[in-house]
Structure 1
Amino acid sequence: MSIKELKERHGAAEAAVNALKERLRHKRQLLLDTDMAGYSRAQGRAAVSFSSTDLVCCRTLQGHTGKVYSVDWTPEKNRIVSASQDGRLIVWNALTSQKTHAIKLPCAWVMTCASGPSGQYIASGGLDSACSIFDLNAQVDKDGNLPVARTLSGHKGYVSSCQYVPDEETHLITGSGDQTCVLWDITTGQRLSVFGGEFPSGHTADVLSISINSSDPKVFVSGSCDATARLWDMRIASRAVRTYHDHAADVNAVKFFPDGKRFGTGSDDGTCRLFDLRTGHQLQAYSQEPYDGGDAPLVTSIAFSASGRLLFAAYSNGDCYVWDTLVAQVVLNLGTLQNTHEGRISSLSLSSDGSALCTGSSDKNLKIWAFGGHRRVI
């Protein structure tokens, strides 16, 4: 068989697969007679009343000299860790705005950071294809730098995301440009499980984001450049439990809903979506028409409020919408407030008690947004 004939057969097979996917998507849509917003409105539910005085910028954290790529609020509600293009991790006291640690990274091209359950250890990863672990209680070296406590090496592509397994200081999951996620034993530096890769149910493009279910820490979800989100169970190595195909572009952000039964996504297609773990169906899409009629801004990061009633979504144009998840309506845009960032918001993180939101931006700053009065419970 000639190369030309092989290419023709491959093209025909690809067209057939795409046609079957479209038929499947159409069939699934026919089964969905309504979405969450439609049902909520039918039940008389209205959007939560929310104003600029209910979520205010109470602090601006300045100290990075490059774009802030990632922020993570430690389990201690007064400490935040941030990673920046300046090649440093900074640990902040959120109450005083002071820096408690400024860590020079072995690779300046950092993309992600995460705090361990105790707050003593932090992790970071980037274009060096490794995940570096730091012990904040360790002694600095002769140059005043905090040494790397452990390096997790094994990925064949950049490390885009990392997260400690809840309540387990010795286990961490990373997502990578090599299309895989890996569960690590930090004590030994060994890979315990690889999710995806050459296996058929794995991602077919770079993994961009991960989120572990705090209600069931053996389950996590990943988002990828292949426009899918995939559900994984650590007890079932390599094979994805379910794949979610509803997005039309890269899935930049994934986050579990507080109850652990659903998860949210944010994508380059300009939408956020909410999925149900039990049925595998999309419950709701969150999108708005672009102001100028052009392409919708990309979603860069998402976070849920403590109850899940609010979805915070950061966009590439500097907006940060606060969505009412029940009725799919924007109740506030942090990007229009007086003390907002002057650049794109790249990362969001909520405090452990749900009382404040931290945003990191390309303007090199972090901002802390505090909920006022009764809004603390949302």
Structure 2
Amino acid sequence: MSVSDLKERHMAATETVNSLRERLKQKRLLLLDTDVATYAKSQGKTPVCFGPTDLVCCRTLQGHSGKVYSLDWTPEKNRIVSASQDGRLIVWNALTSQKTHAIKLPCAWVMTCAFSPTGQSVACGGLDSVCSIFNLNSPTDKDGTIPVSRMLSGHKGYVSCCQYVPDEDTHLITSSGDQTCVLWDITTGLRTSVFGGEFQSGHTADVLSVSISGSNSRMFVSGSCDATARLWDTRVASRAVRTFHGHEGDVNAVKFFPDGNRFGTGSDDGTCKLFDIRTGHQLQVYYQQHGDNDVPHVTSIAFSISGRLLFAGYSNGDCYVWDTLLAKVVLDLGSLQNSHEGRISCLGLSADGSALCTGSWDTNLKIWAFGGHRRVV
């Protein structure tokens, strides 16, 4: 068979796949008799209303000299770890803005960081394809930095995201540019399970984010450059439990809804979406119209404690607070005093829901405190 024949067959197969994908999309739309916002409106629900003092910037954490790429809170709510292009991890006291640790990394190209459930360790990863673990109680070396206590090696591409399994300091899950996710045993440094890769039900492009269910730690979701999110069961590594289509760009962020039955996504296509893991259906789309054709990418998302609010960071510096029931923007942190001056690269909510932290390419982190709407969050 000649090269031209192969090209023709490939083009024909591509057209068939695209046609089937469009038909599947239309079938899904026919099955959706309503969405969350339409039903909520029919029940007389009204949007959450924020006053001028309900969410204010109470702290600016300054100390990084490069773009902030990632952050995470400890479960006890008062500490934050951040990772930056300056090649450092900084652990902050969120109440005082003081730095408790500044860790110089073996590889400066860090992309993700996470606190362990006990808050005794932090993990990070990046372009070195390794997830490094640091014990915060370890003595510092002669240069005043904490040595690496464990290096988790095995990925064949950059480490894009890491998250500890809830209530365990001994296991974490990473996602990577090698199209896989991995469950690690930190005690031994070995891979317990690999999700994707050679398996047909795995992602077909770089995996950018993971989120572990808070109600069932065996389940996690992943988002990828293949424009899909996938649900995994750590007991069945050979195939994804379900694949979620609908985005038209890279899925940069995934986050489980508080009840564990749904999850949110954020994408380069400028939308956030809400999916149900039981039915596989898309429940809601969160999209703000823009006057120009340059649609900002969604870089990071987080839900409030109740799930009524969705916080979404964007590449243009906006940070929207969405009412998840009515799919309406109820606040833009970018319009408030002391807002960031660059791309919002990461955000996260404290364990008790009383504060939001955002990180930006402007090298700063900001802590936003809730006033009168703390009960909503």
TM range (shorter): over 0.9
Equivalent position of 1:179 in the other structure: 179
Partner of 1:62: 62
Deviation digits for residues 112-156 of structure 1 (CA, Å, limit 9, x no counterpart): 000000000100000000000000000011121100000000000
Q: In structure 1, what is the equivalent of residue 228 of structure 2?
A: 228
- 1:70-117 deviation digits (Å, cap 9, x = unpaired): 010111211000000000000000001000000000000000000000
Which structure 2 residues correspond to residues 27-42 of structure 1 after superposition, within 5 A?
A: 27-42=27-42
Secondary structure, counterpart of 2:374 in structure 1: helix
| Equivalent position SS for 2:345 | strand
Aligned residues: 377
- Residues 9-20 of structure 1 aligned to structure 2 (within 5 Å): 9-20=9-20
Matched, 1:263 2:266: no
1:360 corresponds to which residue? Answer: 359
Q: Which consecutive unaligned segments of at least 5 residues does structure 1 have?
A: none
CA distance in 2, matches of 1:318, 1:160: 21
Larger CA deviation: 359-368 vs 5-14 = 5-14
Amino acid at match of 2:340: H
Give, in angstroms, the shift of residue 295 of structure 1: 2.5
Q: Give how far 1:376 is off.
A: 4.0
Contact 2:195 2:237 in 1 (8 A): yes
The alpha carbon displacement at 1:377 in A equals 4.1
Match of 1:215 in 2: 215
The answer on whether the counterparts of 2:308 and 2:376 sit within 8 Å (CA) in structure 1 is: no
Partner of 1:323: 322
1:147 to 2:147 alignment:
yes
Aligned to 1:138: 138
Counterpart-to-counterpart distance in 1, 2:253 and 2:320: 15
Structure 1 residue 14, shift from structure 2 partner: 1.8
1:234 and 1:218 mapped to 2: Cα distance?
A: 5
The structural deviation recorded for 1:34 is 1.2
Following the alignment from structure 1 to structure 2, what is the Cα–Cα distance between the partners of residues 52 and 173? 39
2:273 is aligned with 1:307: no
Greater shift in the superposed pair: 243-252 or 43-52? 43-52
**Residues 230 and 241 in structure 2, CA contact (< 8 A), matched pair in contact too:** yes
Q: Give the Cα–Cα distance (whole angstroms) in 2 for the partners of residues 371 and 159 of structure 1.
A: 33
CA–CA distance in 2 between the matches of 1:204 and 1:374?
A: 42
1:345 aligns with 2:344: yes
Query: Which amino acid in structure 2 is aligned with residue 207 of structure 1?
Result: V
Distance 1:316 1:322 in 2: 15
Q: How far, CA to CA, are the matches of 2:242 and 2:303 in structure 1?
A: 22
Q: Distance in 1 between matches of 2:236 and 2:322?
A: 34
Matches of 2:312 and 2:123 in 1, distance apart? Answer: 24
State the one-letter code of the partner of 2:15.
Answer: A
Q: TM-score, normalised by structure 1?
A: 0.98
State the alpha-carbon separation in 1 of the partners of residues 143 and 64 from structure 2.
20
Aligned-partner Cα distance in 2 for 1:197–1:137:
36
| Structure 1 counterpart of 2:325, one-letter code | L
Name the counterpart of 2:96: 96
The one-letter amino acid paired with 1:215 is S
Secondary structure class of the residue paired with 1:39: helix
Q: Is the 8 A contact 2:162 2:172 kept in 1?
A: yes
Mapped to 1, the partners of 2:219 and 2:39 lie a distance apart of 29
Identity among equivalent positions (%) equals 78
Q: Do the aligned residues in 2 keep the contact of 1:51 with 1:332 (CA within 8 Å)?
A: no
Q: Is the 8 A contact 2:70 2:113 kept in 1?
A: yes
Distance 2:372 2:272 in 1: 28
Instruction: Give the corresponding residue for 1:105.
Output: 105
Equivalent residue, structure 1, for 2:297: 298
Q: Distance in 2 between matches of 1:375 and 1:192?
A: 40
Look up the equivalent residue of 1:317 and give its one-letter code: N
The aligned residue for residue 22 of structure 1 is 22
- Distance change >3 Å, CA 84–CA 376, structure 1 → 2: farther
User: Where does residue 334 of structure 1 map in the other structure?
Assistant: 333
Output one character per residue of 1:264-297: Cα deviation in whole Å (capped at 9) or x when no partner.
000000000000011100000000111x322211
Instruction: Give the aligned partner of residue 283 of structure 2.
Output: 283
The residue that corresponds to 1:162 in the other structure is 162
CA contact (8 A) 1:354 1:376 kept: no
What is the letter of the counterpart of residue 326 of structure 1? L
SS at match of 1:58: strand
Q: Does residue 1:189 correspond to 2:203, yes or no?
A: no
SS at match of 1:373: coil
Deviation (angstroms), 1:373: 3.1
Which whole-Å CA distance do the structure 2 matches of 1:54 and 1:238 have between them? 47
Deviations 1:40-87 (A, max 9, x none): 001111101113311111111111010100010111211000000000
Q: Alpha-carbon deviations, 1:173-221, whole Å to 9, x = none?
A: 0000000000000000000100000111000000000000010000000
Counterparts of 2:373 and 2:317, CA distance in 1: 27
Corresponding residue number in structure 2 for 1:272: 272
> 1:284-329 CA distances to partner (integer Å, 9 max, x unpaired)?
0000111x32221100100000000000001111000000000000
Partner of 1:108: helix, strand, or coil? coil
Q: Which piece of structure 1 moves more, 241-250 or 14-23?
A: 14-23
Superposed displacement of residue 33, structure 1:
1.6
Q: What is the aligned partner in structure 2 of residue 370 from structure 1?
A: 369
Deviation, 1:13, is 1.4
Structure 2 length normalisation: TM-score?
0.99
